[in-house]
Structure 1
Amino acid sequence: MFLKGKTALVTGSTSGIGLAYAKALAVEGANIVINGFGDADAIEAERKALEETSGAKAVYSDADLTKPERIEEMMKLAAQEFGGVDILINNAGTQHVDPIEDFPVDKWDLIIALNLTSSFHTVRHAVPYMKERRWGRIIATASAHSKAASPFKTAYVTAKHGLAGFTKTIALELAEHGITANAISPGYVWTSLVENQIPDTMKARGMSREDVINKVLLEGQPTKQFVTPEQVAALALYLCRDEAAQITGANLSIDGGWTAE
């Protein structure tokens, strides 16, 4: 348990990739702060399971990450419970698919706030503690869309490109403080985020569900397979190891070859 005594905060971690991160970190003994929305009983069951796995403590924050004041409350909760955050994984995100002329302004604002701006706020609150400890790991769930664009996803592609640039910038700022900052860029991972965008893509492209899966989602992934949340979590876990101390400012693809060209 190489993370025993350390605390990890994972945003958007009540399901999908975020929950996979939390489970992987718990296996290595970390205290965990999970965050997100969902059924209260299901979230409590996951929180208890994390504690059973880690032998440490897990707490839950229902902070709405589109609101800076709620982010500050979440970071204060981590400070009160554990002194601060050693590992910060910015994973929360949402998606909307529409042609640019029809793209709702409120959806643009939501996606930029959640997928990009929230990371600015979590990092600025987390860094002082990391600097004090002279150790920290900041990881962003970016996307293959941080490296390549797809039509009808203007807000998401913009946010993910911004997140990649943000990660590189803070990696340079923090390089002499024992803190690394990296992005992980998965291709299509079978999660609710992907599944929920299928109807909109069917409408935008005039396609069947099967065609969206095979001709849109998996068309760009040469392996023709979805990435799993556990594969993404395993990469994040490696970035937390001392052996990864010289990996910083990287944007690591795990996309079945999508961005290889």
Structure 2
Amino acid sequence: MTKTALITGSTSGIGLAIAKNFAAKGYQIIFNGLEPDGDKIAGNIAQQFGIKHHFSPCNLLYPDQIEKMVKETLDKFSHVDVLINNAGIQFVSPVQDFPLEKWNAIININLTAAFIVTKALWPAMQQNKFGRIINISSAHGLVASEFKSAYVASKHGLIGFTKTIALEGAPYNITANAICPGYVHTPIVENQINDQMKVHNMTREEVIEKIMLSKQAIKEFIPVETIALTAAFLATEEAACITGTSIPVEGGWLAQ
């Protein structure tokens, strides 16, 4: 049976790279994203690789939209084998100035949405006795940096959630793992560069060199394709014994 993957935030950045990798392997893909041309992006990939697909413009801030996305998915494909909770947002500010609405949005999209999608798909995965849940956390799910209170909290929380569902899923051949990327040059990081320039009063080049890549021993951004390859392996039958863990892909950041 052809396998199906639902990937949140899959019309740009890391999610798009994962979608392309899985499409090349013949997966049916449920794309999700807020890009104005998201439907076209998804359609082009589906046509390129000859796969069935569905695109949902679901805004993960809103539980009712998430539930609609899941219902549409199950109505069309009847099952989801792989869930990749990838969507995320970022905001940089000292804690005393951090807007509550930004905190709530980051927690809701980065953490709560992953819970809601997982909960909705869980019964079908249990029934099918197969599931691969891959949560895209961050190196900031394992360590912290200043001015990122909400993001760091959300990514640490996502790892805790991953461990919990790994234990609950084990009797049903459902695995759950977190991938923890370092700095990957994606739209979210591009926006972060601009925020960091303001907070630190630095140039773009200084932020990249002194704030971001200084933490990564290889002194380079992590390619999105590397994250996609990691996710692709975790989705396989052969990865059944890997569950409840966090896999850093961060260029040597955590070795320091």
Q: TM-score range by the shorter chain?
A: over 0.9
Q: Does 1:8 pair with 2:5?
A: yes
1:198 equivalent to 2:211? Answer no
**What is the CA distance between 1:258 and its match in structure 2?**
0.6
Q: 2: CA distance between counterparts of 1:106 and 1:44?
A: 29
Instruction: Report the residue type matching 2:249 in the other structure.
Output: I
Aligned to 2:125: 130
Q: Which runs of 4+ in 1 moved over 4 A?
A: none
Question: Aligned to 2:25, which of 24, 28, 38?
Answer: 28
1:38 aligns with 2:30: no
Distance 2:194 2:64 in 1: 33
Kept after mapping to 2: 8 A contact 1:50/1:58: no
- Aligned AA for 2:97? D
Alpha-carbon separation, structure 1, partners of 2:35 and 2:104: 22
Note the 1:128-207 alignment, pairs <5 A. 128-207=123-202
Amino acid in structure 2 at the alignment position of 1:225? E
The aligned runs of 1:231-246 (5 Å cut-off) are 231-246=226-241
Secondary structure, counterpart of 1:181 in structure 2: strand
1:209, distance to aligned residue in structure 2 (A): 1.2
Among all aligned residue pairs of Structure 1 and Structure 2, give the percentage whose two residues are the same amino acid.
49
Residue 17 in structure 1 maps to residue 33 in structure 2:
no
Give the TM-score, by structure 2 length. 0.98
Could you say which residue in structure 2 is the equivalent of 1:208? Answer: 203
| TM-score (normalised: structure 1) | 0.96
Give the counterpart letter for 2:56 in structure 1.
Answer: S
Give the 5 Å matches for 1:51-66: 51-66=46-61
- Report deviation, 1:188: 0.1
**Residue deviations 1:211-240 (CA, integer Å, cap 9, x gap):** 100000101000001001111000000011
Task: Give the letter for the 1:203 counterpart.
Answer: K
Q: SS where residue 214 of structure 1 aligns? A: helix
Letter of the structure 2 residue corresponding to residue 60 of structure 1: F
Instruction: Output the CA distance in 2 between the equivalents of 1:175 and 1:237.
Output: 20
- Secondary structure of residue in 2 paired with 1:183: strand
How far off its partner does 1:38 sit? 1.1
**Which of 108, 114, 117 pairs up with 1:113?**
108
* Bigger mean CA offset, 199-208 vs 219-228: 199-208
Q: SS at the partner of 1:112?
A: helix
Contact 1:142 1:185 in 2 (8 A): yes
Query: How many residues matched?
Result: 256
Kindly indicate whether the alpha-carbon contact (under 8 Å) linking 1:30 and 1:56 is maintained by their aligned counterparts in 2. Answer: yes
Q: Distance in 2 between matches of 1:204 and 1:230?
A: 30
Q: Give the Cα separation in 1 of the matches to 2:111 and 2:255.
A: 25
**What's the C-alpha RMSD, in Å, of the aligned pairs?**
1.0
Offset at residue 17 of structure 1 (A) = 0.4
Letter in 2 for 1:205: H
